[in-house]
Amino acid sequence: MEIQATSIPDVRLITTARHGDHRGFLSEVYSRNALLANGIDIEFVQDNHTLSVAAGTVRGLHYQVPPMAQAKLLRVIRGTIFDVAVDLRQRSPTFGQHVAAVISAEDWNQIFIPIGFAHGFCTLTPDTEVQYRVSNYYSPAHERGLLWNDPALAIAWPPAAVDAILSDRDRAHSRLSNLTDLF
C-alpha cells in the first residue's frame, strides 16, 4: 500500500497493489495496520456505496459536525470521479483551501479525507460507483453542506455549472463566508 500526502498533508492519496494471474486479481484495499504506520489512526464504522448514472453528477460538498464528524476513505469501483476535499478547520493554515484528485477504478487509487473537511465529487464517466468508509455514523442532525461552486473556493470543477447534475439540497448549500458550523 502506497500512501502519499497531498498539498494539504492530512489528505492522503492511497494506491494498493493488485496481485493477478490467469484467474483475475486480489488486492488488499484496506489495512488498518498500513494506515496506522502512516499516522492515520481511524476506526471506520460504516461503509457507503453510491451509483451515479450520468457523467457530470456532483455530490457535495458535505460534512458532519461534532460529535458526529466523519473521516472518509473513498475508492471508485466503477468509473472515474473528480474528488474534492475543502479544509474547514478554522485554525489550519490551509483553511478554505482544497485538494482535488482524479480517483478511478482503472487507477485503483483511493483518497483519505480526515475530520474537518467538506467533501464532494463529480462523476467523469457514466454509471460510476463509489464506495467509502466513514469513521462515524450518518446523523441528519449533524449534516452540513458547503456550496460546491462557491467562487471563493476556486475549484476547477469539470462540468460548467449549467451542465452539472445536482440535488436541490446541494444547490442550496451556503458559501464558505456564511458557514457557522466549522471545525
List the domains of the chain with CATH numbers.
44-178 (2.60.120.10)
**According to the model, what pLDDT value does residue 9 have?**
96
C-alpha cell at 165: 447534475
**According to the model, what pLDDT value does residue 92 have?**
97
Q: Is 171 helix (H, G, I), strand (E, B) or coil?
A: helix
| 62 has catalytic annotation | yes
Give CA–CA dist 145/117, Å, rounded.
11
**According to the model, what pLDDT value does residue 72 have?**
98
Let me know: does 116 contact 88? Beta carbons within 8 Å.
yes
**According to the model, what pLDDT value does residue 21 have?**
95
User: DSSP class of residue 57?
Assistant: B
pLDDT < 70 positions in the chain: none
**According to the model, what pLDDT value does residue 15 have?**
96
**According to the model, what pLDDT value does residue 87 have?**
98
Let me know: does 78 contact 147? Beta carbons within 8 Å.
no
63, 98, 119, 132: the catalytic one is: 132
**According to the model, what pLDDT value does residue 40 have?**
96
| 138 has catalytic annotation | no
62, 98, 119, 173: the catalytic one is: 62
